[in-house]
Amino acid sequence: MKSFSKKFIWFLFAFFSISIGFYPVLYFVIGRQFGVLNSHNPEELSSLLWNSSFYTHIILGGFALAIGWIQFNQKFRDRNRKLHKRIGMAYVTAVFFSGLSGIYVAIYTMGGYVAKFGFFCLGIVWLTTTIMGWLTAKAKDFDRHEIWMIYSYAACFAAVTLRIYLPILENIFDGFIPAYQIVSWLCWVPNMFVAYWIVKRKKLQLS
């Protein structure tokens, strides 16, 4: 029963990571009258810098989400060291550009300073944890590397939790803006606590 539960949780983790990772494709299939683009003013939507940042953020962020989950499979890592390293470098590169562009996009997001600061902090946390993960890997400090990358992917997984929480919050508060203000923090702060719990549990298992 315990084995089944673990497999089911792993399946859900993979399913949400891949499906939400490909979510940005909808912006090209449905068009610009979709998602958060509906709430932005025409001036931003006509800005080359804003558009470049927005699409860089969602495409590379989706790519990072879609490939990052496999890195946490111990058997995969043990059997495919070179591939693990290549996927890791692809993830770090994607996060670097998606994170930077996401920080810029956060400045212009809806929901006032609460939402702007929430998403801005998420971008900083995502970038910082990923860079630390890369630096510790280069230093061959693989124990700390794993810890930093757990936190990095917890921040990346905010793309999933945001899309779970947002429609629920919209129904509770009967409006997009209050829901968006809350989700700008709710989508990633609890993820960090989950990451902390996973890290602490790993340390206890090793001690």
Q: Which residues contact 120 (CB under 8 A, 6 or more apart)?
A: 103, 106, 107
Copy the structure tokens of residue 86: 């290549």
First to last CA, the chain: 26
3 state DSSP class of 32: coil
Q: What is the pLDDT of residue 27?
A: 79
Q: What is the pLDDT of residue 1?
A: 57
Q: What is the pLDDT of residue 204?
A: 77
Radius of gyration of the chain (CA): 18
Give the residue numbers spanning the domain of 195.
Answer: 2-206
3 state DSSP class of 42: helix
CA dist 47 and 53 (Å) reads 10
CA torsion sign for 139, 141, 142, 146 is: negative
If 0-12 CB within 10 Å is exposed, 13-18 middle and 19+ buried, where does residue 155 land?
Answer: buried
Helix 158-173 and helix 189-206: axis angle, to 10°? 140
Total count of domains within the chain? 1
Contact (CB, 8 A) for 181 and 111? yes
Instruction: Report pTM.
Output: 0.92
Q: What is the pLDDT of residue 37?
A: 66
Contact (CB, 8 A) for 161 and 195? no
3 state DSSP class of 188: coil
Alpha helices in 69-188 (DSSP H): 74-79, 81-107, 112-138, 142-156, 158-173, 176-186
Give, for all 207 residues of the chain, the pLDDT tens digit: 557 788 888 999 999 999 999 988 887 887 666 666 666 666 777 788 988 999 999 999 999 999 999 999 888 888 899 999 999 999 999 999 999 999 999 998 988 999 999 999 999 999 999 999 999 999 999 999 999 999 999 999 999 999 999 999 999 998 889 999 999 999 999 999 999 999 998 877 766
Q: What is the pLDDT of residue 141?
A: 95
